[in-house]
Amino acid sequence: MLAISGTNEWKNSHPGAVIGLLEISGVENTTSSPALNQRKRETEARLRSEYAGFSRLDFLALPVMAAYDRYYKRFNKTYHVQLQVESIVLKNKNLPDVSPLVDANFTAEVGTFVLTAGHDVSKLEEPVCIDVSREGDELTAMNGATKPIRAGDMVMRDSSGICCTILYGQDNRSPITTETRHVLYVAYAPVGVPAESVEAQLRQIEQNVRLFAPHAKVEQSLVLEAW
């Protein structure tokens, strides 16, 4: 089990923020899961029914979505989960097919609106911490490009550097691949997102994972709060 902590800088810079951690071992990520695919179709249908007739402003009025919108607007960005939900409801698009471990998260994410990243634990190097980006920080993105990171964003670091940020996503060292057997999901919630929503996200991811890995072991499931 990974030891993961929140720095004082994170707590002081983002009071009221919540981080959810779900670490699962003993999983397979090589073949498509009919049960998970069915869950995806059910999720899409539920979203289209629940939010029929919604506009972008209606979505932004939802409390969890509004909290993310406030965070992203500080950096002149748009919350990408909002765009994903809009594409399902307003444009009749389906969730993507990436891999079971990735899809388990995406399917939960569009239901709770809680931003979550997934990492291959074997690629992370302890110590791991939730922190704040600083001037001069960089991230090697999943496409291999090195990006300068704006100061003040919530990030996860390991001993080799930044693994993920809210604004810029994941690095190219630790993403989930078909070889992943031990996964860490990290939910990032700015102030205004209730801890209960983060806990619901972790529960839903676990339920989705058990559709294709019923004997997987939960190494840890917890929330860190910035108080």
Residue 161 located in a structural domain: yes
92 phi and psi angles, rounded to 5 deg: 60, 30
For residue 117, give the nearest of 75, 73, 77, 155 by alpha carbon: 155
Whether 142 shows a pLDDT value over 90: the answer reads: no
- pLDDT at position 143: 87
What Rg do the C-alpha atoms of the chain give, in angstroms?
17
pLDDT tens for residues 152-188? Answer: 999 999 999 999 999 999 999 999 999 999 999 999 9
Residue 61 located in a structural domain: no
pLDDT tens for residues 75-112? Answer: 999 999 999 999 999 999 999 999 999 999 999 999 99
Whether 141 shows a pLDDT value over 90: the answer reads: no
Residue 79 located in a structural domain: no
Q: Which two tokens stand for residue 16?
A: 């009221």
Task: Give the domain CATH number at 183.
Answer: 3.50.40.10
Residue 147 located in a structural domain: yes
What sign for the dihedral angle of Cα 23, 28, 30, 36? negative
Distances (CA, A) of 120 to 27, 38, 50, 150: 11, 25, 34, 25
For residue 212, give the nearest of 27, 72, 9 by alpha carbon: 27
Residue 71 located in a structural domain: no
Residue 45 located in a structural domain: no
- pLDDT at position 144: 87
* Mean pLDDT taken over the chain: 97
- pLDDT at position 43: 99
Residue 158 located in a structural domain: yes
- pLDDT at position 120: 98
DSSP letter, residue 183: E
**Cβ–Cβ under 8 Å, residues 41 and 107:** no
What's the CA gap between 46 and 43, in Å, rounded? 5
What's the CA gap between 1 and 220, in Å, rounded? 7
Residue 162 located in a structural domain: yes
What's this model's pTM, rounded to 2 decimal places?
A: 0.97
Mean pLDDT of 23-30: 96
Query: Residue 113's domain spans which residues?
Result: 4-32+99-225
What sign for the dihedral angle of Cα 83, 204, 74, 6? negative
The total number of structural domains that make up the chain: 1
- pLDDT at position 58: 97
Coil vs helix vs strand at 136:
coil
